[in-house]
Amino acid sequence: MNTAEQAEPNEDPIANRRALTSRNTAWAKALAERAVKMGITPNQISRLAIGFAALGAIFYVLSPLGPGFLQFIWLILAASTAQARLVCNLIDGLVAVEGGQGANDGPFWNEVPDRLSDFLFLAGAGIAAGNLSLGLFAATLAIAAAYIRELGRAEGFAPDFSGPMAKQHRMAALTIGSVVAAFYGGEWTMGIMLWIIAAGTAVTILSRSVRLISALKAK
């Protein structure tokens, strides 16, 4: 299914997930199988993602305090936590659906940690850029984009995971920006990266809104 389009109501948990090629990789399946064998629940994995986001925010806050090699280390660690958060987001779904470990409160733990993680990462990146307001602005837009998607689902449509700056795109931009900042100087590079995320997320909100309004009118 093309997630850029709204569709008829669909309660299939597989159809209602973000389309990710990484879900079919051997390493992801192996991690999910290990989690199931160890009795780790999807909700626990979702909460772990918040832990990585909190660590990332701490590393971003520390980065302006340690120029040179220390700043390099903090920014690389922050980039690593962004990717670790995405791995958690991937594995919790695999454990829940393919592993048959989903719980009744799963929808809460599937969504709320994501919103908190976006806030922590982007606010922290704003501090690293010397512009907390910009980080908070980007975080607000990220939460708004998710709200539009969930509003469409509440109205009976398939979730719209389209970009150009959906969650995985934001984390990719954050990771790349952090690595570049580690090598070529912190604040201005992080600032450019946050403006790219904010602008792309604003376009995402607009495009999702237009599709949702059209789908609602056609109901």
Dump pLDDT digits (tens) for 160-170.
Answer: 999 899 999 99
**Does residue 4 lie within any of the structural domains?**
no
pLDDT above 80 for 124: yes
pLDDT above 70 for 204: yes
Host domain of residue 135: 21-217
Quick one: DSSP state of residue 1? Answer: -
Q: What gap in Å lies between CA 135 and CA 183, rounded to an integer?
A: 21
Dump pLDDT digits (tens) for 30-39.
Answer: 988 898 889 9
For residues 93 and 85, the model is more confident at: 85
Rounded to the nearest integer, the mean pLDDT of the chain is 88
For residues 203 and 25, the model is more confident at: 203
Contacts of 158 (CB under 8 A, 6+ apart): 1, 3, 6, 7, 8, 9, 10, 15, 16, 152
47: domain CATH number is 1.20.120.1760
**Does residue 9 lie within any of the structural domains?**
no
The pLDDT score that the predictor gives to residue 25 is 84
The pLDDT score that the predictor gives to residue 103 is 82
Number of structural domains, the chain?
A: 1
**Does residue 12 lie within any of the structural domains?**
no
**Does residue 14 lie within any of the structural domains?**
no
What is the average pLDDT across 171-186? 92
Closest CA to 25 of 116, 87, 72: 87
**Does residue 40 lie within any of the structural domains?**
yes
The pLDDT score that the predictor gives to residue 16 is 58
- Percent of the chain whose predicted confidence (pLDDT) is above 90: 68
The pLDDT score that the predictor gives to residue 4 is 38
**Does residue 15 lie within any of the structural domains?**
no
What sign does the CA torsion over 186, 86, 207, 210 have? negative
pLDDT above 60 for 7: no
User: For residue 61, what pLDDT band results from cuts at 50, 70 and 90?
Assistant: very high
Cα dihedral 117, 95, 107, 210, rounded to 10, equals 70
The pLDDT score that the predictor gives to residue 1 is 32
**Does residue 5 lie within any of the structural domains?**
no
The pLDDT score that the predictor gives to residue 20 is 63
The pLDDT score that the predictor gives to residue 192 is 95
**Does residue 162 lie within any of the structural domains?**
yes
